[in-house]
Structures are given as C-alpha cells and as structure tokens.
Structure 1
Amino acid sequence: MTIAELRTRFQDPTPAELQLIARYGELPEDGRRARAFDAFAQSGLPHRRLEQWKWSDFRQSIQSIEASSAQSGPRMAPPANAIVLRFDGRSWDVPDGLPDGFRVFEKDTAQALGNAEQLPMAALTASQTGQPKTCDILQIEVSSSQEQPIFLDFAGAGREMAFARIAFVVRPGARVDVIEQHSGGAGLSAMLVEFGLQKGASASRTLLQSGGHQEATAITGLVSLDEDSEFQQTALAFGAKVARIETRVWYSGPNAAAFLNAAYLPADGKHVDFTSHVWHGAESCTTRQLTKGAVPDGGRGVFQGKFHVPRSVGQHTDADMQHQALLLENGAEVFAKPELEIYADDVECAHGNTSGQLDESALFYMRQRGIPVAEARAMLTEAFIAEALETAHPDVLQTLLDASRDFLRGSGE
C-alpha cells in the first residue's frame, strides 16, 4: 500500500502522524501489523477529544517528532545478580548464559494485539515492531521461579522514535521479579510490556520513568491473571513533555490478586498520566491500588482508574482504589477520575480521591523544633510519597526513595 493510500486512513494527519505513516510504509506487509495500524489510525495520536485521553493530548504535544538529545532524570543501577536486557531504541541486547527455567525468544515479525482499538499507543507499538534483521520484540518464558531479578533498560539512544515490545509468560507456580528503567532518549517512545500469569504464578514489576521536556512517552502494561496468581506493580514517574503509564489487568481465573502502587513527581513543564483499568472477570479476586502524587508549580499529574465488575463472573470481588495528591505550589495541576463500574451484588469495592496541601500544623510543629521551612516541607512530602513505594523490589527501593528525595530538595532536575 502506498503512502498516499495510508494517509487516507487518517483525518487531517499532523506532521508527526505523517512521520509514523512513512515509517510504517517502510515495514514488511503483515496482516497482524495492518490490523494494529488500522486500530491506531481510527484515532491517530490520542487527543483531548477522546474521553480517556482528554488530559494527555499526544497529538497537540508532538506536532513533529524530532530526535532527543540525551537521556534525562534519575537512573537505577542493575542489581548485582540481575539478568540485564537492554533496548537501545532499535534492538534488544540479550545476554548469554541464561538460567534454567528462563527462555528468551526473539521475534522478527509483527505480533497480534487484542483489544487494539481501545489501546491506540499500544496498537502503534504493535504496528511498528517486528522488523526483520532487528530484535525489537521478545517473548520470555518463565517455567520455574527465578532468584535473579530481570532488569529491563529502555533507552532511545538519541533517536526520533523508539518502539519495543516484550511479553512474559509465567508458567504455573513460577515467580519472576521485573525491574524496568524508562529513561527517555527519543522524541517518541512507545513500549508495550505484557504479563501472562498462569495458575499459581506470581510476578512483581518495579518501574522508574523519566524523560526530557521535549519527549513523549507511552508505556502500556497488559496483565492477564489466571487462578490463584498474583501480580504486584510499583511505579515512580517523573514525566516528560507528555508521559502516560497505562496498566490493564484482566482476571481470567478465581482467587487471583493484583496490587498496583504508583507515585508521580512532575517538575515544571512535565506531565505524568497514570491510567489503569482492572476487569474483574472471575470470582473472589482482590485488587488494591494506591497512587500518590506531589506536584510543584508548572507540573501536571493525571490519575484515571477504573474497576469493572461484571454481574455474572465478578461475585465476591474485593477491590479498593485510592488516589492522593499534594499541590505543592500555586500553578500545580492535578486531574483525577476514579471509577467503579459494578454490576455484581456480592462485592466489597471502594475508592477514594483527595488533593490538597501539606498540613500546616505539622509544618508548624517541625519549624518549632528548628527545621527550616523548605526542609520541613520536603520531609513531609517525602514521607507522603514513600508509602506508595514500599512494595518496590528491595534491591532498588532505596534508589527510588533517593530519587524522590533529590527531586523534593531541588536537585532532581
């Protein structure tokens, strides 16, 4: 199909969308790739007229995609015993000598994506990955519990665009710990990370995101949970010009559980969007979600969370969603939209949403004991944020706390 024919699928394409069309046109034809690109073309780059994207307008933010100069923000060092997989904006680097029960398959053709119409940035990633002579898609099979954490280092390496996809299949009873570092480095980065947890399997995911003031980042996580499985996610985000971290969880078997914790700290000119959708498609499943944010003047934080509990299969659901934000200065922006969509009648579901300022009484108490006001504010905010990071992988927890502390004391930017 010619570039001119591809352009007709978009309504008044922007320069950035024209660049994506041109890149797609250079890739091998593939039915799965075409279906993903068609799903992306239905909306193009997400924009404010889409309800789920009204506060994170990628189309307006990236009129043209330009190479980024360098990575920015805090970084994590891989734990000493980690299995390190690095993505340089084009290909994965997979080490030799992998442990038993851990197999990596490199894919050089496009892979199908379910529900692509609901996931425009994930659909874009699916359409732009799976290239011959490169390695931008990995499938990892975990057949036995791993003592070594898996460290994924996503970097754009000064490119205009970076697209990567990785899928974990965790076999019954197995466990894996995944640590992700998303440090920007491309004008547009779109990453898709998938977890399929089979009966009795468990996985933990710890994520650190940072990006430059001219970068756009989309990180989509898709999680499927079978009977008795457990998934735990902890994320700390510093944002970019526009950044969205989206997590979708589907329960396909009973007695499964998911714990979703996150914290956001966007500086002046930075934007962070945490969006999640949990589908309780099986009985007696448990979800706990805690998201906290602290936003200074010029920063923007977004939280959108939804629990969907169907009538027939969602009975005995136990779910709780909490979002709490601090507006540290005038000019800070926080937008929140927690939702419960419940059709079952035997459930325990709750949600809460608060935004405000630091407790003046606590500040006064600390100042009375000789603590300078700036330090007192930083200490209170640090304690507030730290609660959401307690479930991070122990090998990088201190790094996340240090990154938060540096930001709050003015040395993180």
Structure 2
Amino acid sequence: MTIADASNPLSNPTIAEKKLFDRCRAMRATNSRTSAFGLFAETGLPHRRMEQWKWTDIRAALTNLETPSIDLAKQTVEVPEGACVLIFDGVAWKLPETLPEGVSAHRQSDATPLKTIEGLPLGQLTASMTGQDSSSDFVSIEISGKVDQPIFLDFASAPAETAFARLAFNILPDCSVRLIEAHSGNAAFSSTLIEFRLQSGASVDRTFVQRASTAQSVGITATAVLGEKASFVQTALGFGAKVCRVETHVRFEGAEAHAELNSAYLAGDDHHIDFTSHVTHAAPSCTTRQLTKGAVSKGGRGVFQGKFLVPRSIGQFTDADMQHQALLLEDGAEVFAKPELEIYADDVECAHGNTSGQLDEAALFYMRQRGIPAVEARALLTEAFIVEALQTAHEAVRDQMIDEARNFLRAEG
C-alpha cells in the first residue's frame, strides 16, 4: 500500500488536508509511515462529527495552512538554572553536546504508528510526519538512572505552516526523570507527540505550559504506559489558541502504579483550550488522581473531557478520583465538560465531580468593602481558585506558572 492508497478514506479533503497529504507523499515511503498516515486518514483532521471532538473542531479551524507573518506566541516560562535544554526549532531537535548522566538520546529515521492506542488522529498524523532521514524531528530518549537535573523541552518554532515533533521516552526500572516543557512555537499548525514507557518502579514528573495566538492551531498528545509501582505525575497550564487540544492517554499495565493528572486552563477572547484524558486501569491496585480547574472570560471556550476505564477482573482494587471545576468570569464565556467512568470490575473506588459557575459575589463584596478594586478582587479570587491545580508543578517553574496565571487574570479583569 502506498501513501496515496492510505489517503483514500479522506472524502472532500480540505485545503489543509490536501497539503498534509502532499507533504507526506513527498517523504520517504515506508510501511510504518504509510500505516500511520492511513490511521490518520480514517478520519482526517478531527471534526465535530466525531464524539470525542464535538467541541474542538480542528478541521473547521484549520481550513488552510499559511505561515504567520510575524512571531505570534509569547514566551511561557524561563529555563531553570542548570537544566538540560532540548530545543525544537520547528524542523529538528537540537540536542546538547553533553547529556546528564543516565540520559541517552537517539535520532529516529522512520515513522512508527501508535498501534496500542485507539483513535488519536493528531498523534497518528504526527507519527506519519516525523522520522525523516534529513531531519531530527523524532528522538528516542532512554533514562537509565535517577536524573536529578531537569530536562527542559523548548518548543520554540519559527513562523511556518506546520511543525511536527515527536519524542519517545523509555524509563528503565527504578529510574526517574523530571521534564519541563514550554510550548510557545509560531507555526500555523503544530502537533507534538510524546510517548512514555515506565518500567517497574520508574517515575516521571512532567510540567508544561502552553501559550499560542488566535492565528494558531495546536495539538499536544501524550501517551504513558505504566509498569508495576511506576509513578506518572503531570501538571499543565494552558492558555489556548484559535483551537488547542491537550490530550493524555494513560494505561496501567503493572500493579500498584500511580498517576496524577493536574491542569489549569485560562481562556481569553477567541481562545479555545481543550484538556482531554483517558486512563485505562488494566492492572490491579492502581491509583489515579485528577484535578482540572479553569477560568474563561468573554469570547473564550474551555473544554474538559476525562474518562476512567476499569476493565473486568484485571482492574480490581482501582482507586481513582476525577474532579473538574470551572469559573465563567463573564457573560459570553463557554465551558463544556464530559467526565466519564466506565467500570466493569466490582471491587473499586471511583468518583468524579464536575462544577461550573461564577465568582462568589459575597466574597467580592467583602473585598470591595475593604478597599480592594473590583479588578484586583476578581483576579485574587480567581487566582486562589486556580493555583490548587498547580501545586504539583516542578518547583523550579511553579512560581513562574502562577505569575503567568496572575498576569492573565489582571489583564482580563
């Protein structure tokens, strides 16, 4: 089968989809690349007729691919002192000459489809568009020790039509790594795929910040497979874009593993941010904690979709909790939420909660009576609401993330 055959499922492709097809066809054809693009072509760019994408229509937002004329995105967080920095410039990864002890990196020159994960059209697209002979856009990293030095991933692409980046982490038994990511590139359409495989007793602490303009469409996809007693902690702060999807899929394959997925989103006028996650408890005695908080002002849209799947028998003794809480700061703000529990095992503890509303008028009145201006009072209350979801962020950038949120809230106020 060729790339042309793989694209056959696309009906009435948009200009953007045609450009993506032409780009993939121009790359070196391999069975892996053809397979990955074929999986993407089953749906094409995600659209509102797909159940998991009904509030985040990438196809409608991305009608064409045109290079932005100026740098649009703002810097997110600064590089912590002593961090090992990997930079993706929109075409290739720039690796430091010396990596920390216990870290090895290898450039990959072929695509590999996501065979173990259903769906994920943006992940499959990124898989098909990376792994080129002439570019280091796909790098695999092995962690073979307890790496204390944080690894900083800087997605700082120059203005371009597209930017596709892929990383695959393999964390060996009882090894650990801490990642900090700044997603602030300037491509019209950027899609990032990061894969984690945590072996027995391994741990990953991932913190990232996303920011983009209303001229950009962004996809950030992550998958994590956890072995016995592994730990995966993720903390995210997102400001959205014209349309932005942050998607995380976690699968427990070893007993007594733990995952924590915390995130905060702040969406201003014409910004769209979607946090979607899917956790499969395919091993006994595993725990998941998930907290997502959001604040949306007039003209902004926030989306939360979370699902816990507990299969029969193998998911026994699962302990999982999912909470989503959102503030609609003004009339005209939109928040859509869909928390789900799909449980087939009979000895589990699973819970979810979802709330959305406005700031407490009594608290605002109390603060105004004590001389605090209305804008400042609203910002302070919203900040106090948001920061709970950022407490698990890496200590080197936690204060910066809170400052970013604080600056947004005062500007919106």
> TM-score range with shorter-chain normalisation?
over 0.9
- What is the one-letter code of the residue matched to 1:181? A
- Maintained 8 Å contact 1:116/1:122: no
3-state SS of paired residue (1:134) = coil
Is the deviation greater in 106-115 or in 21-30? Answer: 106-115
Cα deviation code 1:104-130 (max 9, x no counterpart) = 111122123224651100000000001
3-state SS of paired residue (2:396) = coil
- Maintained 8 Å contact 1:171/1:197: yes
Aligned twin of 2:13:
13
CA deviation after TM superposition for structure 1 residue 66, in Å: 1.0
Give the number of aligned pairs: 412
CA deviation after TM superposition for structure 1 residue 99, in Å: 2.1
- Whether 2:337 is the aligned partner of 1:336: answer yes
Aligned twin of 2:196:
195
Pair 1:165–1:134, CA change in 2 (3 A): same
CA deviation after TM superposition for structure 1 residue 70, in Å: 1.3
Aligned twin of 1:45:
45
Aligned twin of 1:262:
263
Aligned twin of 1:139:
140
Aligned twin of 1:370:
371
- What is the one-letter code of the residue matched to 1:135? S
Aligned twin of 2:62:
62
Aligned partners of 2:140, 2:302: CA distance in 1, in Å? 32
Aligned twin of 1:204:
205
- Maintained 8 Å contact 1:325/1:356: yes
Cα deviation code 1:262-292 (max 9, x no counterpart) = 0000110000000000000000000000000
Aligned partners of 1:201, 1:2: CA distance in 2, in Å? 39
Following TM superposition, where does structure 1 have runs of at least 4 consecutive aligned residues deviating by more than 4 angstroms? 1-7
Aligned twin of 2:155:
154
CA deviation after TM superposition for structure 1 residue 368, in Å: 1.3
CA deviation after TM superposition for structure 1 residue 101, in Å: 1.1
Pair 1:132–1:96, CA change in 2 (3 A): same
3-state SS of paired residue (1:409) = helix
TM-score of the superposed pair, with normalisation by structure 2: 0.97
| 1:1-400 aligned within 5 A | 8-68=8-68, 69-115=70-116, 117-400=118-401
3-state SS of paired residue (2:386) = helix
Aligned partners of 1:7, 1:225: CA distance in 2, in Å? 33
CA deviation after TM superposition for structure 1 residue 74, in Å: 4.2
Cα deviation code 1:57-86 (max 9, x no counterpart) = 000001001112314134211111101000
Stretches of structure 1 lacking an aligned partner (at least 5 in a row): none
Cα deviation code 1:125-155 (max 9, x no counterpart) = 0000011121001111000001100000112
- Maintained 8 Å contact 1:3/1:22: no
- What is the one-letter code of the residue matched to 1:395? A
Cα deviation code 1:378-397 (max 9, x no counterpart) = 00000100000011000000
- Maintained 8 Å contact 1:116/1:123: no
- What is the one-letter code of the residue matched to 1:227? E
- Maintained 8 Å contact 1:175/1:203: yes
Pair 1:252–1:117, CA change in 2 (3 A): closer
3-state SS of paired residue (2:152) = strand
- What is the one-letter code of the residue matched to 1:34? T
Cα deviation code 1:338-369 (max 9, x no counterpart) = 00000111111000000000011111111111
- What is the one-letter code of the residue matched to 2:231? E
Aligned partners of 1:342, 1:374: CA distance in 2, in Å? 44
TM-score of the superposed pair, with normalisation by structure 1: 0.97
Aligned partners of 2:199, 2:83: CA distance in 1, in Å? 23
- What is the one-letter code of the residue matched to 1:24? C
Is the deviation greater in 112-121 or in 373-382? Answer: 112-121
Identity of aligned residues (%): 57
CA RMSD of aligned residues (A): 1.4
Aligned partners of 1:162, 1:296: CA distance in 2, in Å? 29
CA deviation after TM superposition for structure 1 residue 8, in Å: 3.4
3-state SS of paired residue (2:267) = coil
- Maintained 8 Å contact 2:6/2:41: no
Aligned partners of 1:3, 1:29: CA distance in 2, in Å? 7
Cα deviation code 1:210-255 (max 9, x no counterpart) = 1111111000010010000101000000000000000000000000
- Maintained 8 Å contact 1:6/1:21: no
3-state SS of paired residue (1:396) = helix
- Maintained 8 Å contact 2:297/2:333: yes
- Maintained 8 Å contact 1:159/1:187: yes
